[in-house]
Chains A and B, each alone.
Chain A
Amino acid sequence: MMMDIGLVVFGGLSWAMATFLVAAGLTLIFGILHILNFAHGGFFMVGAYLAWAMIEALGGGVSIWTYIAVALVSGAVVGALGVLVDVTIFRRLRDVEDAYALIATYALLMVCIGAIELIWGLDFRAIMPPEALNSALFIGDLIAPTFTIFIIVCGVVVYVALEVFMARTETGKLVRIVAHDAWMARLLGLDVTRIYLITVVISFALAGLAGGLLVANQGLSPELGGVFLLQAFGVVIVGGMGSIRGAFLAALLLGQIESIGGMLFPNYPGIFYLVALAGLLLIRPQGLLTKGRTEWV
């Protein structure tokens, strides 16, 4: 029984941090631009495919540091794509109705999926985790794959880094000002457009990074983005749109629920999370950590 509890908690943590990696960028854009970005799932996949292609080009089995470096490069490339997307699309969406903005990002997701199908095809792709992460730790009776531990550590690192960035750096503080009141920030002479651009680039870079970090152990197919996107949406909404801390906590909570559900009903993976999401939304539609309007932290 102890082992079961350990297994459930560990499984939930792994789900939580993988989802948080995707959700972090999503909640960032929502908090500042007030756009719920469907395309995030698409660019997450672009990051994953890029990482896959780079690792294949390097001959397959890579060391853990190369693996991280590849993920960072994916993040940088997708971040650069973010500049393009912000200038050509997001900037035009500011005066558009919410529903149309939502549909526009949906369209962008379709473009991403189409591009991936054109370049890489529909086949499943898979790569092994780096050698150093391809084993397991034995904690008591619990068997913990090192790659899963790696993902959990990555999730925590990204969370802490984002919190520090937002709370301590000047850019982070500017981003928070714009999130709080963009109109006032503009009156005070801040370059709001530039801060929006920075936000989009960081968010896209996080999507690419998440893709690169999670690429191993995943069957890589154009479907993948949708799966992660839906989970990330849930986390972002439950956490309170725009709150990074909320998303982190929501990921932990939903991860445990999903993990418990997966153990009780192994034939229906993914259902518990959706039921929990619907339930939480009905109890607290504004999210766990927000009071009414979407607010930063």
Chain B
Amino acid sequence: MNRDLAKTMALAGLGGAAFLCVPLVANSGVVFLAGLVAINIVFALSWNLLFAGAGLLSFGHSMFLAAGAYTMAKFSLSAPEVPFLLTLVLAALSGGVLAWVFGFVALRRASGTYFAILTLAFSALVHIVITKTDALGRADGLVGIRRPEIGVGSLRLSLDGDMYYVFIVLSMTLAALALWCFTHSPTGRLLQAIKQDRLRTSFLGANVRRWQLLAFCVSGVFAALAGAVMAPWSQIVSPEIAHWSMSTMPILYALLGGTSRFWGPALGAILFGMLDYGTRNMLGLADMTSGILLLVVVLAVPGGILGLLLRVGRTREEAKG
């Protein structure tokens, strides 16, 4: 095991532990929000895997979140006998399949801005299809999703209330670690090379489109996993989850925290969760503050908060030395 991985595991462990402490000190409303933040962290990391990791800008990430959430909700309502963990895997795969179908078509011709708009159009299509499909509850969504049970044979553990919160934190920590490993694997480095110089990497013999498609699918799987874990937590899945404003969220988190660092989007999601909590009662203010915040970050601090902190830290060290 190399040192970087050990350090990352320690960091993720600390972060997870901090999240696990929330129910001890805060009321259930805050715990609910903390669970959503944990889920959003993985959602944002999956988006940044594409943006910072492979140079693909997605404006349609909500479609994967929706794929996972609706698959989970549908299984939980119509086929509760299927084990929860199996459903989770199926839901995550649904995002991967969606990503493959879309990416197979879109990556063939489009790149850059065109690709971004295609993702937007495709997710809009998914949103419309959901609002018009009876089996998915149309505009009302699916309600009454139960908190799941896990276990083998007669040994069963009901993930109710705070227990499901613990499950969220653990699963999302593992998912984040898995994403870290992917980013730092040879494949991750190859994608980085493609991002930096597409042409040169293809001269070196890499099939650029196939690797980008792989990145797209991995990103789709993790975004769908986030959606699948979210469904039993909020116990309702509505078409809002597929709306394009949902696709803004990971962009916002990642840019706020800093896209060039792996954990930047996580920091952004946490900060944004706090901001959201602070402005929750003021209609319109939430949109406005997040918009202004995002503008300021893009125009003034392109490295995001984490980039800024690291830069300040480095300058201080240099001043000392």
Contact = CB atoms under 8 A, between A and B. Distances in A.
A196 B244 CA distance: 30
Contacts of A117: 283-284, 287-288
Given A102-B116, A274-B121, A121 B294 contact: no
A92 B300 CA distance: 9
A3 interface: no
Given A89-B299, A226-B244, A275 B125 contact: yes
Given A103-B255, A107-B294, A111-B292, A36 B121 contact: no
B286 interface: yes
B121 A102 contact: no
B51 interface: yes
Interface string B54-80: 000101000000000000000000000
Nearest to B287: A114
Contacts of A111: 287-288, 291-292, 295
A285 B51 contact: no
A98 B112 contact: yes
A111 B288 CA distance: 4
Given A274-B125, A278-B121, A110 B108 contact: no
Contact of B287 (A103, A113, A269): A113
Contact of B286 (A92, A98, A114, A234): A114
B113 A110 contact: no
Contacts of A110: 248, 287-288, 290-291, 294
A230 interface: yes
A118 B285 contact: yes
B109 A282 contact: yes
B124 to A, nearest CB: 6
Contacts of A99: 51, 57, 116
A172 interface: no
Contact of A233 (B117, B122, B248): B117
Nearest to B243: A226
Contacts of B299: 89, 92-93, 104
B128 A103 contact: no
Contact of A282 (B105, B285, B295): B105
B251 interface: yes
Nearest to A113: B287
Contacts of B129: 268, 271
A184 to B, nearest CB: 24
B120 interface: yes
Chain A at the B interface: SS class: helix
A237 interface: yes
A209 interface: no
B277 interface: no
B127 to A, nearest CB: 10
A96 B298 contact: yes
B302 interface: yes
Contacts of A122: 283
B85 interface: no
Given A102-B57, A237-B117, A271-B128, A116 B298 contact: no
- Best-surrounded residue of A93, A104, A107 (most CB of chain B within 10 A): A107
Contacts of B110: 281-282, 285
Given A110-B291, A118-B283, A268-B128, A278 B51 contact: no
Nearest to A117: B284
B132 interface: yes
B284 A277 contact: no
B92 interface: no
A106 B248 CA distance: 8
A108 interface: yes
A270 B124 CA distance: 9
A116 B112 CA distance: 31
A233 B57 CA distance: 16
Given A230-B120, A270-B128, A278-B105, A107 B295 contact: yes
A126 interface: no
Contacts of A93: 299
A100 B298 CA distance: 7
Nearest to B289: A114
A113 B291 CA distance: 9
Contact of A102 (B113, B288, B293): B113
A96 B57 CA distance: 15
Nearest to A274: B125
Contacts of A233: 117, 120-121
A145 B244 CA distance: 32
B113 A36 contact: yes
A282 B108 contact: yes
A148 B291 CA distance: 35
Contacts of A226: 244-245
Contacts of B255: 103
A115 B286 CA distance: 10
A169 B288 CA distance: 39
Contact of B121 (A107, A108, A234, A267): A234
B189 to A, nearest CB: 21
B138 to A, nearest CB: 10
14 contacts: A92-B299, A93-B299, A98-B112, A111-B291, A114-B287, A114-B290, A117-B287, A237-B117, A269-B128, A270-B124, A278-B106, A281-B109, A282-B106, A282-B108
3 shortest interchain CB distances as A-B pairs: A114-B288, A117-B284, A110-B291
Interface of A: 36, 89, 92-93, 96, 98-100, 102-104, 106-119, 121-122, 226, 230, 233-234, 237, 241, 267-271, 274-275, 277-278, 281-282, 285
